[in-house]
Structures are given as structure tokens and as C-alpha cells.
Structure 1
Amino acid sequence: MASKPYPLEIRDLEPHEAEKMKVFSGEKTGFVRIGPKGYVLAHRFLEIAADIYNMDIRPSDVFVVTYARSGTTWTQELVWLVANDLDYDTAKSVYLTERFPFLEFSMMVHPEMIQRYLENSKGDEKKQKEIKMMTSHIVKQLALAPSPRFIKTHLPLSLLPPNLLDAKVVYVARDPKDVVVSYFHLCSSMTFMGWTGDFKQFWNLFISDLQYWSPFFEHLKEAWAKRHHPNLLFIFYEELQKDLPGVIKRISAFMGKNYSDEEVATLCEHLDVKNFKTNPSINNEQFKELGLTTPDLQFVRKGKSGGWRDYFDEEMIARTDKWIEENMRNTDLRFPSAQ
């Protein structure tokens, strides 16, 4: 499918890094670093890297791009509804994972894990079909999909097609201290990731740029550098919390839509975390049914900022603050307070 060879360097992790990443027991083939920034991805990404880089971008495409656990799901639902004339009936009846497929998801689920899920659902043809569809190559499915296509990805801009900004891109950033807490809970629940460590181990890998899609700050800086491009809208998770109506209006204008204050208020109510947490179409209920997550998964958790204080000790706070300061020294990127 790929028309050109993959132009970015691919290298294995250093042996000491690879050893640390074994705590992700679901990834059986290990991890690689991609490109000059050294983004960390599962080895299976090599099967799809060139197809993603060379995929045909349509001007009608809409991408939501984030580092994991930065408000992705919230933004996807918001963007989809704004673009689709507030069609709540479809939004409630069709899984968000179907309305807004996850571009690189097939790299996340190792063939050994797929086999395990298929064996566990033996005799249930519907479940077997869903597992195969969900873990297959999304780019091939997208090539056949009608426009407009809505696409979620955690890949940084440099690993996406060079002409990505022919399409609309909404990029969401979040304070890394809250990201790492939310990310830890997610990885602990996703059986295909198989996280076996504690929070401090997870945090240590995160600030060492040893997590899926890391380095965190390089990811953000790439998008921040493009924030004035007319086809990229850069927003912060903290803005979604502090002024959801204002962000809805910004996204609406970006998408060429205009909604009344009353319509915006109704959308805010739909997106309110108390309703969002109980909405089965966005909460990955499908993943639970197929065994891809633990039964207690809360895909949408608290939807607040500052929760990291319950997890960090003094040493972790000091080291994280130093890491943030070092990485933001040469940029005007700043995280707004949600308070």
C-alpha cells in the first residue's frame, strides 16, 4: 500500500531501556525509537509506519491528535458532534471507536494477545469478528471509508503524513503531572498492555521519555510550532475544563459551524463529566466485553486537574518540576491553570 519507503530512522531501544520496558508484559516483541526525536512505539508499529506516513489525506478529514490521556475522548466527542450538526442520536448509538477510529491501534495489541482474546471468545462469532476488525490495520479500512473521515491518533505530527495539514487537525495538550496519573490508570486496565508495575515505576519511565508515544514534550512542541497554521487548532485540556462553551465556539468556528448559545449549552451538558462517565458509546464498553480491558475499567475517570497531588511524594514533585522546567526552557509553551 505504501508508495514510498519510510524516511525516518528506526532503532531499537538501548538494552537498559528495553529491560525497563519489560514491565509492559503484553508487548511481546519489545519497543523501538522512531525518527530524530526518538519516539517510543511498540515494535509492531513497523508493520504500519510507512502506510500511515504515506496515507492519502483528504481535505475533509478531521484529526484529533494528542499525547495519550490529554483529553482525547472528550475532544473527539465534541469535535464529532460539532462537525455532524449535533447528531446526538448517532453519537449515543454508535461507539466512538467506530465514529472516530484510532489510527495506530493495531500496533498496541500483540498477535499473542489477539490469539488469547480469540480463544476466550470461541463460539461467539460476533465477538471474534469485532476483535479481528478492531486489531486490523486501520489505514486500510480508512482508505475505503466515506468522507468525512474522523481519525484519532497519539502519534506526533512528524510521524504522520507530511501533508497532514491539508486536513483539519485539533491538537490537545494537558499538564504532564495529570497526564501521567491518568495514563497509569489506563495502562493498568488495558490487558493488552499488561502493565505490571506501580505508579512510581510508571512515572519514572514517563519522565525518562520511556512510554508509548514519548518524549512527551517533543510531541507537544511539534504541534505548538504549528499553532498558527489555519488548519491546526491547538487547545489545552485545562481550557476545556475552565471554559467549555468558549472552546466549543472556537472548535465550531474552526470547523466552519455556528451554533446558538442554547445549542452550546445542550452540548456542554452532554459533555459534562457526570454524563460522560455513564455514556456507554464513549466508555469503551466494547473493550470490556471483548476482554481487552479489566472489568473495572473507568475509561473516563474524574475529568479534573490537580489530582496528581494524591500520587506524588516530595521527591517526585521536585524531580518532575525540574524535568518540566528543563523541557520548557526554550519555548513559550505554558500550561494554563484550570482553576
Structure 2
Amino acid sequence: TRVARDFYDLLLILPKDQLPLPIRESDVFVVTYPKSGTIWMQQILLLLEAKGDVTAIGPPGKYSNAGLIPWIEVSGKRQAFIEAPSPRLRVTHLHHQLMPAALSERGKVIYVARNPKDVLVSYFHFHKVANMLETPKDFDDFFEKFLRGDVFGCSWFDHVKTWHSHKDDMDMLFITYEEMIQDLPSAVGRICVFLGKELTDEQLANVVKHSTFDNMKAMPPANYENVSGELLNHHQGRFMRKGTVGDWKNHFTVAQNERFDEVFDKEMKDFPLTLIWDIRDMA
């Protein structure tokens, strides 16, 4: 589709020599489909590096999380990535086949998956804020485009399935957005161990404290208030909206839910992971 092609036209760092990037053992890549916890993980990684001291990340008003942990696919960043000091922390929405092959030999990947019904709703609202994306005609139209993969980022189903199928081919932590909502201290602990970090209980508690949705929503570096108005229309809404599980129930009709389930069951019938669809399903 045209939109799917636009994803690669806009994001891929062409020419072709861009993505065979030199990978170091200390490199960490956070991989997500859009609206699946990218900025949440940016915050957690920065706090783990700072051992829970939010003031050590940078001077107030002088930095953004997106600047410290940028997207690797943004055009013109190749040389900056090559020359950056270790550890190089990066985020990406790229599909597996577009990532450096050397990740199978070194570096770490944290993949965050989120239930696609909530992704769809969050992404719909994000399109109203993001100036680089086309404003949806209406929710019904966006719903159908999402199911077809005719959106920026292409198919959620393909993205999650392909990355998950390669989780044993590299040093990968596969975690879900819902797990992080359900038990953030446990999730932060898993991430800390995966990265080989050694933090005290107090330091980990501070990482968790400053990574809660409410605290991040009040922090301009984390909530993207510092991002240029050319990219985000801050008058149309907030980058961080709800950060919950099950908001899709406030948007889907019964017919849409049945249609989504039909497509999901077909696409993900052999997928070995159970997703949480409603916050009430959490123990």
C-alpha cells in the first residue's frame, strides 16, 4: 500500500549502506511497534544508567529523552551513531529484516509488545498530534487501515510475530506493556538484570518511582513537551494520553471487536504468547 511504502521511504536511512551499522557488545536497542511503550522504556533505561537519580540524566529544560535515546532510523544519524560513546542506547520501530544483521552476534534488544486493540486506539489519537502523520478521516476508517497494515509502521501482526520468532537468535528480552503496567517493579528488575546493571534496592525503587505514568506525564523531557511544534501539535492533545489497559473498550463497537478478533485469531493462531486485553484481567 502507499502508506506502507511511505513508512520505508520516510524511515529507512538510505542509501543501502546505512543499516549495516557496526554493532558493539554494549549497544542496547529498544524495539517497538508505534505506541507500544517506547518512551516508557527510554525513561527506564536513562534512569537505570543514572542509578535512579533523575537529576543526573541532564539539566532541567536542557534535554529530552528522545535526544538522549534517539531513533536509529531518523535520516542523517548514521555518523552520529557510529561516533557515539558507549553504551549506545537507541529505539526503533523498524521491522526485524531492516535491522543490522550483527545483532545476532552482539548487542542487546529489548522488545516491547502491547495488545493491538489498545495500540490501535492510542495510534488513532496520536495521528491527531503528530504533524508528520495524516489526520485520520474517522475512527472507523483508521480501524480498517490498521487491520490491513496500511498505516505508518505497517502491520502490527507482522512486526510482533517476526521479532518474536527471532528472539532466540540474539540477546533479547521480550516483555509486554501490560506486564509493565501490572508490576512495574518486577519489570524494571528484569530489565536491570538483562542489562547486567547492579543497583541497590533504593536505586531501583527510584527508577520505578520516576517511571510511573503520572510522574512521567509531569516531566517535559519524558512527556515530549520539549519536542518541536513542527513535529507534534501540542494543542491537539498530549503525547502521553492514558497509559492504561483496555481503553479500546471505549472506542470499539461490538461489530468492530468481533471483526478484530477474527483477524487476530487468523494472524496470531500459532503465536505462543498470551496478551492481556483488559486491566480487570490482571491478577
What TM-score, normalized by structure 2, do the two folds share? 0.89
How far residue 42 of structure 1 moved from its aligned partner, in angstroms, is: 4.4
How far residue 87 of structure 1 moved from its aligned partner, in angstroms, is: 3.9
Structure number with greater Rg is 1
1:144 to 2:83 alignment: yes
8 Å contact 2:71–2:91 — kept in the other structure? yes
Residue 254 (structure 1) aligns with = 194
Aligned CA distance change for structure 1 residues 178 and 52 (closer, same or farther; 3 Å) = farther
Task: Map residues 1-339 of structure 1 onto 2, 5 A cutoff.
Answer: 13=1, 18=2, 21=3, 31-32=4-5, 41-45=7-11, 48=14, 50-91=16-57, 93=59, 94-106=63-75, 137-165=76-104, 166-228=106-168, 231-287=171-227, 289-296=228-235, 297-336=237-276, 338=279, 339=282
How far residue 92 of structure 1 moved from its aligned partner, in angstroms, is: 5.5
8 Å contact 1:92–1:279 — kept in the other structure? no
Q: Match for 1:71: what amino acid? A: G
Q: Distance in 2 between matches of 1:147 and 1:83?
A: 12
My pick for the range that moved more, 221-230 or 234-243, is 221-230
Specify every segment of 5 or more residues in structure 2 that has no aligned partner in the other structure, as ranges.
none
How far residue 291 of structure 1 moved from its aligned partner, in angstroms, is: 2.8
8 Å contact 2:32–2:112 — kept in the other structure? yes
Q: Distance in 1 between matches of 2:142 and 2:187?
A: 31
My pick for the range that moved more, 322-331 or 92-101, is 92-101
How far residue 229 of structure 1 moved from its aligned partner, in angstroms, is: 5.1
8 Å contact 1:171–1:235 — kept in the other structure? yes
8 Å contact 1:174–1:237 — kept in the other structure? yes
8 Å contact 2:53–2:206 — kept in the other structure? no
Aligned CA distance change for structure 1 residues 272 and 300 (closer, same or farther; 3 Å) = same
Give percent identity, aligned residues only.
33
What TM-score, normalized by structure 1, do the two folds share? 0.75
8 Å contact 1:48–1:104 — kept in the other structure? no
Q: Distance in 2 between matches of 1:292 and 1:268?
A: 29
Aligned CA distance change for structure 1 residues 49 and 96 (closer, same or farther; 3 Å) = farther
How far residue 45 of structure 1 moved from its aligned partner, in angstroms, is: 4.0
Aligned CA distance change for structure 1 residues 46 and 169 (closer, same or farther; 3 Å) = closer
My pick for the range that moved more, 222-231 or 198-207, is 222-231
How far residue 223 of structure 1 moved from its aligned partner, in angstroms, is: 2.0
RCO higher in 1 or 2 (8 Å CA, sep ≥ 6)? 2
Aligned CA distance change for structure 1 residues 45 and 248 (closer, same or farther; 3 Å) = closer
Residue 121 (structure 1) aligns with = none
Aligned CA distance change for structure 1 residues 46 and 291 (closer, same or farther; 3 Å) = closer
Residue-by-residue CA offset, 1:151-181 (whole Å, 9 max, x unaligned):
1100022110111241111000000000011
How far residue 43 of structure 1 moved from its aligned partner, in angstroms, is: 2.2
8 Å contact 1:53–1:160 — kept in the other structure? yes
Residue-by-residue CA offset, 1:183-217 (whole Å, 9 max, x unaligned):
11111111122324212211111101111222211
How far residue 226 of structure 1 moved from its aligned partner, in angstroms, is: 3.0
Q: Distance in 1 between matches of 2:166 and 2:7?
A: 23
Residue-by-residue CA offset, 1:109-129 (whole Å, 9 max, x unaligned):
xxxxxxxxxxxxxxxxxxxxx
Q: Distance in 2 between matches of 1:316 and 1:298?
A: 26
How far residue 48 of structure 1 moved from its aligned partner, in angstroms, is: 2.3
| Alignment root-mean-square deviation, CA | 2.0
How far residue 230 of structure 1 moved from its aligned partner, in angstroms, is: 6.1
Aligned CA distance change for structure 1 residues 222 and 82 (closer, same or farther; 3 Å) = same
Q: Match for 2:7: what amino acid? A: L
Aligned CA distance change for structure 1 residues 46 and 63 (closer, same or farther; 3 Å) = closer
Specify every segment of 5 or more residues in structure 1 that has no aligned partner in the other structure, as ranges.
1-12, 22-30, 33-39, 107-136
